[in-house]
């Protein structure tokens, strides 16, 4: 095999490996969102285990690679190991919750113990696979020693990272919508085997390499290099988490936004590694260049962070330019994200091979040296995945988080660089230190606060509204901001319009308010409560404004449990104390800050009434609350005569996705009733036949008074005005419609037709007319 053919084949091997690895990571995050809960803390633990496995693999398998005369044989074993170990979560996911849920319940009152157990469980399931992943690049470097380590590492890192970026974008935009999680996992399994299989073919024609034991000490990297590598990894991943929170406010909290952000980060890192071999040799081995690169990387976050709120204008123009073209919209959004975060991530891609250039290494210690570098970089990223979730987001504003991270990493990294430069020339070190530090006067000079109304503008949905009013600023001027907060789960704001109506936005989208949403928020409580003979125990999933909880509290119930995943939403609900009758102060109301699906699965209580009012199903994490898997958990928690009520938005689900939502609900409950309120569909279901209340049913006085506010004078009037029909009316229309499941989550991808419709609430009339046609 010629040298060029070998290079192309090695590129294919590493590309496939990187592609499959990112597919696994995306699928694992989805799986563990169900297993241990979809909170940021739980998912940070998954990220830490994934990165920890990479670090272990880099360090220890990298050492092993230098001891092999035929490193490619070891590479083949690693890819086969990745494929086989990846099947572990897939093979036991069906019965694992039944095994661990009792322990989750016991440990729930002691969060540190619960998180420790979840961490160990995650390690058991994915650590062996990620350790094998971590060993692939350093072992491959040990097999081919014809070029110096730094450019070789840059080339391999570029190809592997490019494969990862392709894996992310292909999974999000093509594979998951078409194949579902299960077959997507099998595809990644086959790609891992293919990578190993191609490596086995190359190995047959590849000559053995010499083992240079006398160069062993050269495989170690200096503490200064280890520290620099650590801080670089920490900084980029911490920024990635903060970027994700910020950019999802502009792109929408969807799986598509997740794919765009992660894909751009990986592409920019890959580009940095691609450019590295083109650098002059004097830069490749220069500590001064490392210090300058560190300045550019941190400053390109610190200074733009002061103006990230103004990025709303860029995304607004991108949305206008895209019109109804989905492809153009994604292209423009990716270009805008690249403009905002491309420089620091590109610098990160340069940094990784630059560390290798600063190392002293021999030909027989390539795997070991690459493994050392690879160990400290993921180790830094572990901390980078935890610090924003556990400290920055709960304690600081996003803007301050970016600035603090930039300054801390710059100071720490610069100190390391200057220490090393000062060993040769103290004067030069002092001069460089003062010169580079002066650049940080820029953020001080140009310091400004964010316009929080821009941040919470919800451009991904409301661009047509702002366009109709003339501009983004004119649209935002129609209301005043009363509250804004970013917690580790979501970004929440309260606005008040000129009529005095308040509305709550979560991740930019209006989810509750004291205006036109009042009737829906009332009815979500009243409909199931009126259909139960004696509702004593009630659960409401999603606090929002608290109005539904307050409406449920009008009945003589003994216990009302409310689940809300976001602490900021709980705080913001205080702005609706008048409308929700100060519901959280009611001694019967128990607030639980938890993931709804996880809580239902792990807790043992049953309820007479369960109400689910999450945000829209196309928002990331919410499609699971419209899934057959979730409804199974609801059935298990309903008392024998229990009633469940589900909110379904008619205004932003395409007709196809509405049918999926209804088919899933109808399949899950033996009886169902449908009620229509403007652009909202309220569906109640039960495990047993639902008895419709008499038109003359007496209700508590407070309930009658509240219903009168929405022009309903009694149960008879409620049925005359809002009732559509039973679910049986839709049997033929929903025949053959595939249900929404965790494996094939069609509703998760419902944003695609919505974002290109050019309207706010584009499907309200179409869906309403379709439903009325069966009456």
**How high is the pLDDT of residue 93?**
85
Per-10-residue mean pLDDT for the chain, 775 residues long?
A: 77 96 95 88 86 91 77 93 95 89 90 91 95 92 75 91 98 96 97 96 75 52 82 92 95 96 97 93 82 85 92 97 95 98 95 81 62 86 89 85 87 73 62 65 74 96 95 95 93 96 97 95 98 96 97 93 96 97 96 92 92 95 95 96 97 97 97 96 97 90 95 94 96 95 96 92 96 94
- Edge-to-edge, what's the strand order for the sheet holding 509-513? 479-486, 491-497, 502-506, 509-513
**Is residue 313 exposed (0-12), middle (13-18) or buried (19+ Cβ within 10 Å)?**
middle
Q: Which helix (H) or strand (E) holds 672?
A: strand 671-677
Farthest CA pair distance, the chain: 94
- Edge-to-edge, what's the strand order for the sheet holding 607-612? 589-592, 559-563, 537-541, 607-612, 638-649, 680-686, 671-677, 723-726
Give the whole-angstrom CA distance, residue 176 versus residue 182: 9
**How high is the pLDDT of residue 414?**
73
User: What is the 3-state secondary structure of 369-438?
Assistant: HHHHHHHHHHHHHHHHHHHHHHHHHHHCCHHHHHHHHHHHHHHHHHHHHHHHHHCCCHHHHHHHHHHHHH
* Partners of 726 in beta bridges: 673
Which residue bears the tokens 């991808």?
Answer: 749
**How high is the pLDDT of residue 390?**
83
Q: Which of 682, 683, 684, 678 is nearest to 761 (CA)?
A: 678
DSSP letter assigned to residue 267: H
Q: Which helix (H) or strand (E) holds 601?
A: helix 596-602
Give the whole-angstrom CA distance, residue 636 versus residue 739: 19
SS3 call for 176: helix
Judge contact between 213 and 360, C-beta under 8 A.
no
Judge contact between 53 and 375, C-beta under 8 A.
no
SS3 call for 208: coil
Tokens matching residue 337: 């994200």
Tokens matching residue 373: 């570098």
**How high is the pLDDT of residue 172?**
97
Q: Structure pTM?
A: 0.94
**Is residue 109 exposed (0-12), middle (13-18) or buried (19+ Cβ within 10 Å)?**
exposed
Radius of gyration of the chain (CA): 28
Give the CA dihedral 708, 714, 719, 722, nearest 10 degrees: 0
The sign of the torsion formed by the CA atoms of 113, 116, 122, 123 equals negative
Judge contact between 489 and 565, C-beta under 8 A.
yes
Q: Spell out the residues 6+ positions from residue 427 whose beta carbon is closer than 8 angstroms to its own.
A: none
SS3 call for 740: coil
Q: Spell out the residues 6+ positions from residue 328 whose beta carbon is closer than 8 angstroms to its own.
A: 321, 322
Q: Spell out the residues 6+ positions from residue 173 whose beta carbon is closer than 8 angstroms to its own.
A: 256, 259, 330
Count of other CB atoms within 10 angstroms of residue 161 = 27
The beta strands (E) that lie in 33-102 are given as none
Q: Which of 130, 149, 605 is nearest to 378 (CA)?
A: 130
Buried b vs exposed e over 576-603: b needs ≥16 C-beta within 10 Å?
beebbbbbbebeebebbbbbbbbbbbbb
SS3 call for 304: helix
**How high is the pLDDT of residue 356?**
82
**Is residue 91 exposed (0-12), middle (13-18) or buried (19+ Cβ within 10 Å)?**
exposed
Q: Which of 297, 234, 287, 286 is nearest to 416 (CA)?
A: 287
């Amino acid at each position: 095999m010629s040298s060029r053919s070998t290079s192309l084949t090695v590129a294919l091997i590493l590309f496939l490996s990187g592609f499959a690895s990112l597919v696994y990571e995306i699928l694992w995050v989805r799986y563990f969102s169900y297993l241990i809960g979809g909170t940021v803390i739980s998912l940070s633990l998954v990220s830490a285990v994934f990165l920890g496995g990479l670090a272990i693999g880099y360090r220890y398998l990298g050492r092993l690679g230098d001891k092999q005369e035929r490193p490619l044989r070891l590479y083949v074993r690693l890819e086969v190991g990745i494929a086989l170990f990846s099947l572990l979560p897939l093979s036991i996911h069906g019965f694992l919750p039944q095994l661990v849920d009792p322990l989750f319940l016991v440990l729930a009152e002691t969060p540190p113990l619960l998180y420790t157990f979840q961490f160990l469980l995650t390690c058991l399931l994915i650590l062996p696979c990620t350790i094998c992943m971590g060993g692939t690049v350093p072992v491959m470097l040990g097999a081919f020693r014809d070029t110096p380590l730094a450019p070789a590492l840059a080339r391999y890192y570029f190809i592997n990272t490019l494969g990862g970026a392709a894996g992310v974008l292909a999974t999000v935009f093509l594979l998951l919508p078409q194949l579902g999680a299960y077959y997507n996992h099998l595809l990644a399994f086959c790609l891992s085997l293919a990578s190993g299989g191609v490596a086995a073919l190359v190995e047959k024609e590849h000559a053995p390499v010499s083992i240079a034991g006398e160069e062993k000490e050269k495989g170690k990297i200096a503490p200064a290099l280890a520290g620099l590598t650590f801080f670089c990894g920490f900084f980029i991943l911490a920024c990635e988490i903060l970027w994700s929170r910020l950019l999802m406010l502009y792109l929408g909290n969807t799986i598509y936004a997740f794919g765009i952000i992660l894909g751009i980060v990986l592409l920019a890192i890959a580009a940095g590694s691609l450019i590295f071999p083109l650098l002059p040799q004097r830069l490749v081995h220069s500590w001064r260049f490392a210090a300058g690169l560190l300045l550019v990387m941190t400053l390109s976050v610190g200074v733009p962070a002061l103006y990230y709120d103004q990025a709303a204008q860029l995304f607004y123009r991108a949305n206008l330019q895209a019109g109804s073209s989905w492809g153009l919209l994604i292209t423009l959004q990716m270009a805008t994200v690249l403009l905002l975060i491309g420089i620091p991530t590109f610098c990160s891609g340069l940094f990784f091979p630059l560390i290798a250039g600063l190392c002293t290494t021999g030909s027989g210690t390539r795997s070991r040296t690459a493994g050392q570098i690879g160990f400290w970089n993921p180790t830094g990223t572990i901390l980078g995945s935890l610090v924003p979730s556990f400290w920055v987001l709960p304690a600081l504003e996003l803007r301050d988080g970016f600035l603090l991270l930039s300054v801390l990493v710059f100071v720490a990294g610069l100190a390391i660089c200057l220490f090393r430069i000062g060993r040769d020339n103290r004067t030069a070190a002092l001069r460089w230190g003062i010169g580079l530090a002066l650049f940080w006067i820029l953020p001080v000079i140009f310091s400004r606060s964010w316009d929080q109304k821009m941040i919470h503008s919800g451009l991904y949905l409301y661009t047509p509204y702002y366009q109709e009013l003339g501009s983004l600023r004119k649209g935002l001027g129609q209301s005043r901001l009363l509250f804004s907060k970013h917690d580790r789960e979501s970004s929440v704001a309260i606005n008040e319009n000129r009529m005095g109506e308040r509305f709550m936005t979560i991740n930019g989208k209006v989810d509750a308010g004291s205006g036109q949403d009042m009737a829906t928020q009332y009815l979500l409580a009243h409909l199931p409560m009126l259909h139960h003979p004696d509702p004593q125990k009630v659960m409401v999933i999603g606090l929002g404004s608290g109005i539904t909880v307050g409406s449920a509290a009008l009945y003589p119930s003994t216990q009302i449990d409310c689940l809300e995943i976001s602490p900021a939403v709980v705080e913001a609900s205080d702005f609706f104390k008048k409308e929700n009758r100060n519901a959280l102060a009611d001694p019967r109301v128990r607030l639980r800050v938890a993931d709804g699906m996880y809580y239902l699965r792990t807790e043992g209580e049953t309820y007479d009434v369960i109400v689910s009012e999450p945000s829209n199903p196309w928002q990331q994490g919410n499609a699971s609350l419209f899934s057959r898997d979730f409804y199974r958990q609801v059935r298990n928690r309903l008392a024998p005569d229990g009633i469940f009520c589900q909110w379904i938005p008619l205004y932003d689900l395409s007709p196809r996705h509405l049918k999926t939502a209804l088919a899933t609900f109808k399949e899950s409950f033996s009886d169902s009733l449908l009620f229509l309120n403007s652009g909202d569909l309220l569906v109640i279901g039960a495990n047993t036949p639902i008895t419709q209340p008499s038109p003359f049913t007496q209700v508590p006085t407070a309930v009658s008074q509240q219903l009168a506010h929405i022009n309903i004078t009694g149960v008879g009037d409620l049925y005359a005005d809002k009732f559509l029909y039973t679910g049986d009316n839709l049997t033929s229309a929903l025949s053959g419609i595939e249900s929404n499941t965790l494996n094939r989550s069609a509703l998760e991808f419902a944003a695609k037709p919505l974002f290109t419709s050019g309207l706010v609430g584009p499907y309200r009339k179409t869906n309403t007319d379709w439903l009325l046609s069966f009456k």
